[in-house]
Structure 1
Amino acid sequence: MKVTREGPVRITRTTIEAAWARRAKDQRLVIGDAECRGLALVVNPSTMAWVYSYKPRGTDPATGKRFASKSVTIGNPETHSPPDARTQAEALKGATKAGRDPAAEKRAKIAEDAVKRAGTLERLLEEYGEDLPSRPKMRGTGLITAAHAAAELTHAKAAVAAMRAEKKPARDMAPEDLRTFLRAAAKSPGVARARFGALSRFFDWLLEEGHIAVNPCDAIPKSRRPRPPAPRKGLLRPDQLAVLWHAAGRAEELQTVHRDLFRFLIAIPARRNEAAGMDWKHVDLTQGVWTQPGRLTKNGDPHRLSLHPLAMDILRQRFEAAKKPKTGLVFPAPRSGKPITTWRDMKAEIVKAAELDGWTIHDFRRSFATFLGEIGKSEAVVDAILNHRQAATRGGVLGVYQWSKRWPEQAAAMEAWGAALQAAVKGEQPGGDVVPLRRA
């Protein structure tokens, strides 16, 4: 490209318009400004720009000569009038006299902004989600389960969304952002605690990967962090569980798969997500055993559950209705075919039909354990059925040395529980002492 230099002249709007009219293909016109040394208007075939040129202070130690001239683009005539361009150029001139290098600073700022755009929380959460399944457990050995990884990512994303920080660069996160999240989540302490913990572990990962210098969660005093909710003490007698069992059959908005899943959770003390992910290939209807692989359990340990007749009736009916499949979800969501997640809506329908509130699905496991304790079943057997790794009978030194599953006793305990439930469903069994529930 041919370069033509003119001036210096006092650049005005008229000068700019005349220069633009003279633009030509493969030519560049550089007009120096008489009022500000170093400032020039550069006219290209399709663009114009204000450019300030300078020589950095000092000499090159390798050659002993002054450094080569550098240039900084200030803007164009549409964004900067001639007086505005001179003001900006004078500011740059002052910076060079102070020993700074405006061109290098601008390049560094552009590079930093590019890094920030690539390092938004939204983008980094996706990378974190890909890395999570390969991360080790915080307790014990091995990797975290797929279910745990999915829940962790969901909580972290929800926390970021609550702060409206999806597009914010990770390195710009500050404790004030966390305080915004904590204020928004104050009404749900259990959820807030889970999300704060997931967010802190996400920031720990960012710290490990070099995206941030400090974890902003560490700046939140312990007194301000979400506290664990008080442990629930709700229990249900077998006759109250029978009320919910029958209510599931009357709930008009529930489909068959929802009714069956709900009743299965009453019958078998499984965690709800484990039951929702139950696959036919893990069920032995001949022996009455459900074998859970470690990747599907909360603690990552493989687990077996003996299935009593009440639970077997549910599974056999579903098996026949599904045309005896070898694999696939036992309780697939009606539309997506994926594991059911609409727990809140399901419970609301049961509460309405039963006119009984004040319970949670997790209370079923607590009720199971309490009932077996009342009839004299061993705590070690109950802990084994519930797959509690950190329980007193399975953790610590005892957990290291005692690996017996006591399967015959587990099967007998499940039979006792199933018999009590079946009698209650038929209206044959009175209840015992419970924590009172309230009518809806």
Structure 2
Amino acid sequence: MPAFKITKRSVEALQAGERPFIAFDSDLAGFGVRVMPSGVMSYIVEYRPHGGGRSVAKRRITIGKVGTLTPEQARKAAADMLAQVRLGADPAADKASQRQAATVAELVEAFRAEHVEGKLKASSGRSYRAGLDALKAAHGSLKAEALTRGQVAALHLKMRESPYAANRALATWSKMFAWGMKRSLIRKGENPAREIDRYREDKRERFLTTEELARLGDALREAETIGLVYQVDESKPKAKHAPKAENRRVKLDPFAVAAIRLLILTGARLREVLDAQWSQVDLERGILFLEDSKTGRKPVYLSAAAQEVLAALPRIEGNRFIIAGHGPRKKQEAEKGGKGSQADAPQGSPRADLKKPWAAVCRAAGLDGVRLHDLRHSFASFGAGASLGLPIIGKLLGHTQAATTARYAHLDADPLRRAVDTIGSTIVAAMDGRKGGEVVPMKKAAK
């Protein structure tokens, strides 16, 4: 079919035949209309890749259907595409590559398998998985390269009720896209998770006071001697069979009590204490050498009080862990939050957690809203208050960066308090008209 000027009227005049055909435009070489026997018509561009010569076959790419685009819109798109070809681009190859590109779900699974499961510690992996699952659920079927910053920002906005989790998820997405580009799973370009404002995070730093520590100590002693009072839901049918109120006490597992004492006496993290093994203890030097921690190999320095806690703990045959996990416990004991507060653990395993024992201790001590991690903060706060110096405190806590320890700088108040007291007393003395002490010249030493 001879070339003709593609306009709205000329396209409407085209008639479908028994076989598909293309009517090319007389003004823009390569621009045409493909007509199918069904009558469906589409604007197309046909070209040879730049520099290929006649030995390279022509390539064809569909711009859009007639009716969804006007001839003017299609002509402009075709002209832009042909200009890109002259500059060395290959739109047809790019489109084929885009069809084969990874979806968000595929990129998530690849990142999870190679990076999260393969290189991260279990605690870090849990945070990563939460963010990855959220992104996959929202945009899993979308091509990863097609995900926009606006879509990522909208998902981040949906998570605003939990700002800390939302920010961790955003950091995970950004890292995943950077990783995907580095691994050539997606084309290098703009990272859609970058340049999105994070939510403000109110750092929660709870430090136990001396009076609160005293109540904690009382509760722990009560827990391992006469037992802690536990609550019974009087509305339940079996409540009438429960012991009298004055007899509702249960002793906590000695390993749980020891773990709580070690947390406050060492400033160690929860899993560092629960996963510690007897073989890592060097009582002669007063150090617990951890093979692995959040920051890698780490020594935990043991005070005399911490060593006493270890010395009082029995060693369970066949269990290498200091805070040994339980065997089977009675269900009613578990519900009380005492000995059975942990799910059944296999022989030779550490205690899984301290949630129920800690909740029971907090109730007895009147410590509302205190987390186990706050014991670590309290350890550091007492060190800062004693003017031990942030570098020393950082070493004890196992911080790898000084900025992490700097949060306790405001607690190092003793030197400043002494200084301000000295200045204040001098100023008050001057204002009251009191003279300073009499200066007595020193006698010269005899020759």
**TM-score relative to the length of structure 2:** 0.53
Aligned to 1:217: 193
Deviations 1:108-164 (A, max 9, x none): 54542332238432332322225645xxxxxxxxxxxx4xxx444332322233443
Deviation for aligned residue 1:372: 5.4
1:295 aligns with 2:292: yes
CA distance in structure 1 between the partners assigned to 2:21 and 2:387 by the alignment: 98
Whether 1:306 aligns to 2:302 is: yes
Q: 1:348 to 1:215 in 2, by over 3 A?
A: farther
| Other-structure match for 1:161 | 133
**After the TM superposition, which residues 347-362 of structure 1 pair with which residues of structure 2 at under 5 Å, given as runs?**
347-362=358-373
Cα 1:318–1:226, aligned 2, differ >3 Å: closer, same or farther?
farther
- Give the structure 2 partner of residue 323 of structure 1: 317
Q: Cα gap change, 1:247/1:255 in structure 2, threshold over 3 Å: closer, same or farther?
A: closer
2:228 is the counterpart of 1:250: yes
* Paired residue secondary structure (1:217): coil
Residue 70 and residue 299 in structure 1: after superposition, are their counterparts in 2 closer, same or farther (change >3 A)? closer
Equivalent-residue separation in structure 2 for 1:267 and 1:59 (angstroms): 72
Question: Residue 289 of structure 1 contacts residue 306 of structure 1 at CA under 8 Å; is this kept in 2?
Answer: yes
Please give the alpha-carbon distance, in whole angstroms, between the structure 2 residues aligned to 1:59 and 1:122.
35
The one-letter amino acid paired with 2:115 is Y
The separation in 2 between residues aligned to 1:251 and 1:159, in whole angstroms, is 40
Alpha-carbon spacing, 1:127–1:384, altered in 2? closer, same or farther (3 Å): closer
Aligned partner of residue 292 in structure 1, secondary structure: strand
Counterpart amino acid of 2:367? L
The reply to whether residue 368 of structure 1 matches residue 383 of structure 2 is no
1:175 touches 1:216 (CA, 8 Å); kept in 2? yes
Write out per-residue CA displacement over residues 80-107 of structure 1, whole angstroms, 9 at most, x where no aligned residue: xxxxx9999xx9x999997979xx9677
Which residue is equivalent to 1:241? 216
One of 255, 270, 273 as aligned partner of 1:272: 270
Q: Which amino acid aligns with 1:359?
A: V
C-alpha displacement at 1:61, in angstroms? 8.0
How far apart in 2 are the matches of 1:155 and 1:304?
25
- What runs of 5+ residues in structure 2 fail to find an aligned partner? 1-14, 24-32, 83-89, 231-249, 326-341, 407-447
Contact 1:190–1:229 (Cα < 8 Å) also in 2: no
Task: Normalising by structure 1, report the TM-score.
Answer: 0.54
Contact 1:277 1:331 in 2 (8 A): no
Are the equivalent residues in 2 in contact too, given 1:265–1:272 (CA < 8 A)? Answer: yes
Give structure 1 stretches of 5+ with no counterpart. 1-8, 12-30, 42-49, 74-84, 134-145, 396-440
How many residues in Structure 1 have an aligned counterpart in Structure 2? 326
Is residue 2:170 matched to residue 1:179? no
Amino acid at match of 1:123: A
Find the aligned partners of 1:171 and 1:251 in 2 and give their Cα distance.
Answer: 59
- CA deviation vs aligned residue, 1:356-383 (integer Å, no higher than 9, x gap): 3132223323333444566x57446555
Q: Structure 1: how far apart are the matches of 2:393 and 2:215? A: 21
1:387 matched residue in structure 2: 398
- 1:197-224 Cα shifts (integer Å, max 9, x gaps): 4443444433433435222333214xx5
CA distance 1:191–1:355, shift in 2 (3 Å): same
* 1:99-118 equivalence runs, <5 A: 109-117=95-103
User: Which moved further from structure 2: 380-389 or 248-257?
Assistant: 248-257
Q: Distance in 1 between matches of 2:48 and 2:177?
A: 43
CA distance in 1 between partners of 2:77 and 2:156 (Å): 46
**How much has 1:228 moved relative to structure 2?**
4.9
Code of the residue aligned with 2:368 in structure 1: it is: D
- 1:390-409 equivalences in 2 (<5 Å): 390-391=401-402
Distance in 2 (alpha carbons) for counterparts of 1:156 and 1:70: 43
Greater length-normalized contact order (CA 8 Å, ≥ 6 residues apart): 1
- The Cα shift of 1:309 comes to 5.1
Q: CA deviation at 1:244?
A: 4.3
Q: Does residue 126 of the first structure (1) align with residue 113 of the second (2)?
A: yes
Call closer, same or farther: CA 1:131–1:280 in 2, change over 3 Å. Answer: same
- 1:287-326 Cα offsets, whole Å, 9 max, x none, are 4844233632x3335314225356544565341xx2164x
* Compared CA separation, residues 151 and 213, structure 1 to 2 (3 A): farther
Within 5 Å, give how 1:331-350 maps onto structure 2. Answer: 331-332=324-325, 334-335=343-344, 342=353, 347-350=358-361
Q: CA deviation at 1:272?
A: 1.3
